[in-house]
Amino acid sequence: MATNTGDFVVRFSFWSRFQHAMIILLFGLLLLTGMPQKWPGLAASRWIVDHLGGIFAARWLHRATGIAFTALVVAHLTVAIGGILLGRIKPSMLLGKRDFRDAIDNLRYYAGYADTPPKFGRFDYRQKFEYWGLIFGSLIMVATGYILYFPILVSRVLPAELIPAAKVMHSYEALFAFLIVLIWHMAGAHLSPEAFPMDTTIFTGKISKEKLKHEHPLEYEDLFGKS
């Protein structure tokens, strides 16, 4: 995992960084091709669709990107589950009771009822909740996406009302994901006083020891012992 290289520690492997970059690309493409279909009446939607080569081209791109996104989700889950089973990855993203306690303690600290924030491990509760939100959100998007991709096949084996329900779910879940990324993720990675103007760790893989000690003190102690 994290390796000591002078003042910095390697926090994210190439695979993690690659996945993050792919998510930016694929999620961006999915939003670009999907959102105009959610609001087809807007002039902006028409402009985007026209510049993508029309609605059929936009839908083709959306589906192709969806397939790539599915591959990414499958690869991620395979590597994560396989890695944990083989003992090569520490299950640091798993949620525990501690995370809920941390959330409450941290909010108490924010509100002024505690003098220090709780000590976080490799991932704090905000990162874990966002991660699990992303995992379940992706599974919902993938499942509903394929229902919409193959409606006739679905209607042969399952009640056909699933198809319009999947459409509503796909649309709202996408909006929710977009809002989370726009408000929560962007605020955390760019506007947060600790990160401003930008937290580059996920792109470079490096985190300074100082930042690690401040933001993930338990992991720091695991690596370097209590100082």
Residues within window 70-129 making contact with other proteins, judged by CB under 8 A? 107, 109-112, 126
Is 49 a residue that touches other proteins (CB under 8 A)?
yes
**Which H or E run contains 223?**
helix 217-224
For residues 154-213, which are near other proteins according to CB under 8 A? 155-156, 159-165, 167-169, 172-173, 175-176, 179-180, 183-184, 187, 192-193
Asked if 135 touches other proteins (CB under 8 A), the answer is no
| Contact flag: residue 37 with other proteins (CB under 8 A) | yes
Nearer to other proteins, 19 or 144 (CB): 144
In angstroms, give the least distance from the CB of 26 to other proteins: 22
Rounded to the nearest 5°, which phi and psi values hold at 126?
A: -65, -45
Using CA atoms, how far residue 194 sits from 167, 188, 191, 199, 200, in Å, is: 39, 9, 8, 8, 12
Nearer to other proteins, 34 or 121 (CB): 34
Partnered with residue 207 across adjacent β-strands are: 9
Q: Of 15, 18, 21, 50, which one interacts with other proteins (CB under 8 A)?
A: 50
Candidates 7-15, 72-80, 153-161, 209-217; binding stretch for other proteins (CB under 8 A): 153-161
CB under 8 Å to 122, separation ≥6 — which residues?
Answer: 1, 90, 92, 216, 218, 219
Contact 93, 128 (CB under 8 A): yes
Token look-up 């580059």 returns 200
CB 133 → other proteins: shortest distance, Å? 9
Is residue 37 a contact partner of residue 58, using CB atoms and an 8 Å limit?
yes
Strand pairing category for 4-5 and 206-208: unpaired
Q: Rounded to whole angstroms, what are the CA distances from 165 to 14, 66, 139, 160?
A: 38, 19, 16, 9
Minimum distance between the CB of residue 128 and other proteins, rounded to whole angstroms? 14
Residue 107 C-beta: closest distance to other proteins, Å? 7
Which positions lie near other proteins, rule CB under 8 A? Answer: 36-37, 40-41, 45-46, 49-50, 54-56, 58, 107, 109-112, 126, 151-152, 155-156, 159-165, 167-169, 172-173, 175-176, 179-180, 183-184, 187, 192-193
